[in-house]
Copies of this chain bind each other. A is one copy, B any other.
Amino acid sequence: MFRGSGRLVTCAIIIALATGAYADEARRALVLSSDFGTTERFVASMKGVALGVDAGLQVHDLTHHIEPFNVWQASYMLAGTIDYWPGGTVFVSVVDPGVGTNRRSVVAKTGTGHYVVTPDNGSLTLVADKQGVVELREIDETINRRPGSEDSHTFHGRDVYAYTGARLAAGVIAYDEVGPLLEPNIVRLRYQQPKRLDDDAVIGSIAHIEMPFGNVVTNIPKSLVDELGHLPEDGATVTVEIAHAGRPVFEQRIAYVPSFGYVDQGAPLLYSDSLQTIGLAVNSGNFARQFRVAAGADWTIRVARSSARE
């Protein structure tokens, strides 16, 4: 009898320990991005709230140096990083110019099995196009909001997003406990998809300016330029036009070459980067600063065959 109950106790302890071990397995990383910078205390407040949910959570930074209010950049950072993290990782993205207005707070489940907690203000645009959004839920703030934060209206990054993200990452809530299911129609920033315009030209948009070098990252795959009959190895000259909100900003004939050193120092060049995507740079210079070019949904780029305008 005693012996039997002794074994029961043993089993109970073992089960408790094993449960702890399983809980640990279920725990996923939480990855924060924002436009808060790292000088102020905002990021640390978000992390404190997350660790208050689960003291053992892995909390990491994607970047907090997104340009203030630049939702496009928030989207670019997410879409370019998600694939390198384990499935189940929870991303919290807070670039939130509309905090306090009635934009929705959502958690998206991607086609790659990751989660993104964010205001639905366009930050999911490139994620939807790259990883896909397979399910979308609105955060039910009656449940998923930091206790005691009801009177705070200006820091949802801490009170709603970090808190909900941490609960999901820690396994305190399952995805379907985030809140009601929505049609996966996220707010999308409209931008120029890369495409062949005609026999002579392709068009796309400027996805990003890579700092500190000021190189321009487009969304045009090298394969589209191949179709124009140009390969970097040929060193041909192409005509590049850049427009902002339809207004011309840049137009030049420049060399399409394998890498920077193929043109003179200070000269612009078109090249294909490591992801087989078309980019613009200045050899030993800064293309974006020199030609006052930025990135975003309203920046388009057109590349035309060297013979096209002759």
Flag whether A39 is at the interface (Cβ < 8 A): yes
Flag whether A289 is at the interface (Cβ < 8 A): no
Name the contact of A62 in the complex, choosing from B37, B41, B56, B61 (C-beta under 8 A). B41
Number of A interface residues in the complex (CB < 8 A): 56
B residues near A85, Cβ cutoff 8 Å = 48, 51-52
- Copies of this chain, complex-wide, total 3
The smallest beta-carbon distance between A115 and chain B, in angstroms, is: 14
Question: Residue of B at shortest CB range from A81?
Answer: B41
> Would A84 and B48 count as touching, CB distance under 8 A?
yes
Flag whether A230 is at the interface (Cβ < 8 A): no
The smallest beta-carbon distance between A297 and chain B, in angstroms, is: 19
Flag whether A89 is at the interface (Cβ < 8 A): yes
> Would B86 and A56 count as touching, CB distance under 8 A?
no
Which residues 42-75 of A sit at the B interface, judged by CB distance below 8 A? Answer: 44-45, 47-49, 51-52, 55-56, 58-65, 68
Question: Residue of B at shortest CB range from A45?
Answer: B84
The segment out of A19-27, A188-196, A248-256, A260-268 that lies at the interface is A19-27
> Would B155 and A52 count as touching, CB distance under 8 A?
no
Flag whether A223 is at the interface (Cβ < 8 A): no
> Would A153 and B274 count as touching, CB distance under 8 A?
yes
Name the contact of A51 in the complex, choosing from B21, B41, B86, B212 (C-beta under 8 A). B86
Flag whether A154 is at the interface (Cβ < 8 A): yes
> Would B274 and A155 count as touching, CB distance under 8 A?
yes
> Would A158 and B29 count as touching, CB distance under 8 A?
no
